[in-house]
Amino acid sequence: MGPGATEGAGDGSGDLMGGPSGPSSALPVLREFLRLGIIGFGGPSAHLALFRRRFVHELGWLSEQTFLDLLGTANLLPGPTSTEVALAIGQTRAGWRGLLAAGFGFIGPAAITVLVLAIGYERFGSQPAVGWLLYGIQPVVVAIVALAVAGMAPVALKGLFTWAIAGVVVAALLLGVDPLLLIVGGGVAGLAWRGVRRGASGLGGAMAAAVVNIGRGVPGPVSPSGLRAFVLAVATGTIGLPSLFVLFLKIGLLSFGSGYVLVAFLHADLVQGLGLLTDRQLLDAVAVGQVTPGPVYTAATFIGYLLAGVPGAVVATVAIFLPAFVGVALVHPFVPRLRASPVAAALLDGVNAASLGLMAAVTVQLARATVVDALTLVLVVGAFAALLRWPRAAVPLMVVGGVVGLGAHAVPFG
């Protein structure tokens, strides 16, 4: 234990609900997560390592088992896992005030930093030097997302049937099927497969038929994608704040498995559906979310600003993180029971397989837009290989990519 261990001693802080004396003050929670929100570079794995070291080993706020229980619960909820663990730690330490303090502390610094970068991007993004800088960074971002897909596969794809779900989702998304339908279809398919394996042919057959019907959805004027585009688009060709809120709230509710799943929904809604973003702008948003501290989900802050200024940045940020706050506050006490339920497990297996398929398909789409010459191909392959060897080197590799991009401007390549 470090010197901070005394702070957590004697007040029951190691207990899941703050000990018999009740929840502690939220101010230490705010202070700790503000610090972690400022230094929390490196993505979810790095965040979780920081949380474990600080709150288990240095402060003694949690036991090792409690930390693992919080992590297991977060993995069953939609939204950014490391953010949900932060919220759960705040809740166990200081009740609902601690949950809010942890969320503000961990998300706030990242969101403010991303907003500042978005303002600079809007004003200076058209400069040639900025274009070449992003030319080198974007292939590294593609490699980061591809590695996330590869890393999730052994966990999300537990058998031939889940592999099949992911494969169907990849093909369907590339053909233009709505991502929301694919997520729902994945969950239904997981339930159907459980029914088939248990011999409940009637139930399994009915659910399988439902999956087939869901898979037939295609974009068009009356499809979910077309209807959403109609609702979101306003007469000026921009997006209104209420529609922006609904869009990012949906993404927060449906992003299972990894923060990068949000890229699939953003691509379908804002790049393909409404044409309000380009592939390169989406990659730039993900890049900014990756190089700044805190959760990758703050890419929503960047996109919200591009679409609707500072109010859009605020609305998008609140909307995408709101499901995590509500989920941790309300569902967290009951999730251990859900985890033990075979039906819930089958549903989540299907949803996770579909989420992975979405990520894989969008990686292909973004790679098509990014790999435009031999140098960008080398950057993608090289960054992927480097990340296999040094998984936490994402930010340094993006810096290297940016330098290479600027160098390509000075010495044209290909």
Inside any domain, residue 244? yes
Q: Are residues 89 and 210 in the same domain?
A: no
Question: What's the total number of domains in the chain?
Answer: 2
User: What is the DSSP secondary-structure string of 118-144?
Assistant: HHHHHHHTTSHHHHHHHHHHHHHHHHH
Inside any domain, residue 132? no
Q: Are residues 298 and 197 in the same domain?
A: yes
Inside any domain, residue 330? yes
239: β partners: 233
Inside any domain, residue 32? yes
Q: Are residues 197 and 328 in the same domain?
A: yes
* AA identity, residue 316: A
Neighbours of 411 (CB within 10 A): 6
Q: Are residues 100 and 166 in the same domain?
A: no
Inside any domain, residue 121? no
5 token code pair:
């261990």
Inside any domain, residue 70? yes
Q: Per-residue pLDDT tens for 23-57?
A: 578 899 999 999 888 877 656 766 777 788 789 88
Give how far the C-alpha of residue 389 lies from the chain's centroid of Cα atoms, to the nearest Å.
23
Q: Are residues 73 and 202 in the same domain?
A: no
Domain end among 73, 107, 141:
107
Q: Are residues 317 and 220 in the same domain?
A: yes
State which residues form the domain around 77. Answer: 5-107
Q: Are residues 167 and 243 in the same domain?
A: yes
> Which of 131, 144, 109, 142 is closest to 30 using CA atoms?
109
Q: Are residues 98 and 174 in the same domain?
A: no
Q: Are residues 228 and 351 in the same domain?
A: yes
Q: Are residues 262 and 167 in the same domain?
A: yes
Q: Are residues 314 and 193 in the same domain?
A: yes
Inside any domain, residue 408? no
Q: Per-residue pLDDT tens for 190-232?
A: 888 777 777 654 444 444 444 444 444 433 333 444 444 434 4
pLDDT tens for the chain, 414 residues: list them.
343 443 343 333 344 444 434 457 889 999 999 988 887 765 676 677 778 878 988 888 988 777 767 766 676 677 787 899 899 999 989 888 999 999 999 999 989 989 998 898 888 765 566 667 777 877 887 787 787 777 767 777 878 888 988 888 888 877 877 776 777 788 888 888 777 777 654 444 444 444 444 444 433 333 444 444 434 443 344 568 998 999 899 888 877 655 667 777 788 788 887 788 888 888 888 878 777 777 878 889 999 999 999 999 999 999 999 999 998 998 766 755 665 677 777 777 787 788 778 778 877 877 887 788 888 899 889 988 988 888 777 778 878 888 888 787 765 555
Inside any domain, residue 263? yes
Three-state DSSP at 233 gives: strand
> Which of 285, 289, 255 is closest to 270 using CA atoms?
285
* AA identity, residue 97: R
Q: What is the model's pTM?
A: 0.64
Q: Are residues 157 and 242 in the same domain?
A: yes
Q: Token match 């706020």: residue?
A: 61
Domain end among 327, 350, 368:
368
